[in-house]
Amino acid sequence: MFERHFERVAVKVLTSVETDPGKSHQHELNGVNEFRELLGPEKRERVPCDFHYLTDDPSADLDDFGVVSWYDSREAHPSRSEYRLYYSANTIMDRAREEDILVLADRGSTIEIFVARAGSSTEQQLKWLLGIKGPVPKSDVHPTSGLLRRSELVGRLPLLDRLGIVSSSSGAIDVESLIERFPEGLPTTAEFAEYARGLHEPDLGDDPDAALLTWTKTEEEAFRAIERCEISERLEAGFYGADGIDIDEFLSYSLSVQNRRKARAGLSLEHHVRALLDYRGTQYAYEAVTEGNSKPDFLFPSAEAYHDQTFPIDDLSMLAVKTTCKDRWRQVLAEAERIPDKHLLTLEPAISVAQTDEMERHALQLVVPRLIHDSYGPSQATWLMTVTDFLELVSR
């Protein structure tokens, strides 16, 4: 469920004529007659527009502001129309390149335009969320109903925050009971993860993949519910200093909220993986030291076995756990040097082919819950390992 979302969005692949200054200085999107379904047939002039460039590194994303105008360049023609979208000069469209995809959302009084780098994981996630299989059409309009269904598989996908889509409660969490359970506010991540698992007890023996997703989604919703109460109270108190409103204090508080979200998400996923392993009676070491300061998240069957040079290497395994991969997956390659074939569990859907190919070349096997596999391409899906597959590997 979403408090704020787009019912439909327009999507197109950018061409060289639209992005190469050497070929055009028009600041126009061409071939967008299909956008009439979204923007309507009437002329719209100088509509405020927020522009966003999305990469696989959120810290490298760019935002800018401008205006757009929607018009029929053949308005005077008796039987032919040719719609175009003019945009004012901005850093986002300056950065856009041929084959990047552009997503346009109409908020009525304003427009939002998102550009995703061609071949990136962000592009692949956008396509998956919108239900686009194969190449993006030259230009088209897509309903976002599929976005709601697919995003519910993985809980709070970071990309949704970047798109400005705000999740609301599904009703599965009783906020009053939650506050009564934790009157002092958020508990430790281990305690909160255990609380979330207690709300849903799927059959772990039959479907660990579904169990892991259910737990993480439930905990995310519970976390957001209690966090929303905390933030509301803090905002009501205001941010004031000796000289009035304290902007620095507000910015510091906002940053602390974002950092807490990221830190809790990763730790919580590790706690849920531990619960799966404990349920199956699997031998493992959690954050055991291997070489130097290296501490892989999970080592199988034990730290003692790893450091025993007579223990067969083929019987050793390691698992890193990351809610999202980005470029951080390369850190895993330096962990547990004795183990050549490493495993990484993630909840991130639709990682780019370029990244999964590189992982495979470095003998890093990606482990992804089964229900997210269809977000990957056909060649990727045959390579991916499910959570159940991995548990069977280390339980032998």
User: Of 57, 122, 65, nearest to 93 (Cα)?
Assistant: 65
**What is the distance between the alpha carbons of residues 356 and 340, in angstroms, rounded to a whole number?**
17
pLDDT at 5 over 80: no
> Pick the residue with more confidence: 184 or 268?
268
pLDDT at 175 over 60: yes
Lowest-pLDDT range of 74-78, 168-172, 358-362, 375-379: 168-172
Instruction: List residues with catalytic annotation.
Output: 306
pLDDT score at 272: 95
What would the mean pLDDT of 56-62 be, rounded to a whole number? 82
What would the mean pLDDT of 160-183 be, rounded to a whole number? 70
Per cent of the chain over pLDDT 90 is 39
CATH 2.40.330.10 fits 2-160, yes or no: yes
pLDDT score at 2: 34
In which residue are the tokens 């088209």 written?
140
- Residue 388: pLDDT band (50, 70, 90) is very high
Domains 175-272 and 285-394 share a fold: yes
Per cent of the chain over pLDDT 70 is 87
**What is the distance between the alpha carbons of residues 250 and 224, in angstroms, rounded to a whole number?**
19
- Residue 203: pLDDT band (50, 70, 90) is low
Paired strand residues for 69: 86
pLDDT score at 153: 63
pLDDT at 356 over 90: yes
pLDDT at 30 over 90: no
Query: Which CATH class, in words, describes the domain spanning 285-394?
Result: alpha beta
- Residue 156: pLDDT band (50, 70, 90) is low
Contact 349/157 with Cβ under 8 angstroms? yes
What would the mean pLDDT of 89-101 be, rounded to a whole number? 91
For the chain, domain boundaries? 2-160, 175-272, 285-394
In this structure, which CATH number among 3.90.105.10, 3.40.50.1370, 3.40.30.10, 3.40.91.80 belongs to the domain 175-272?
3.40.91.80
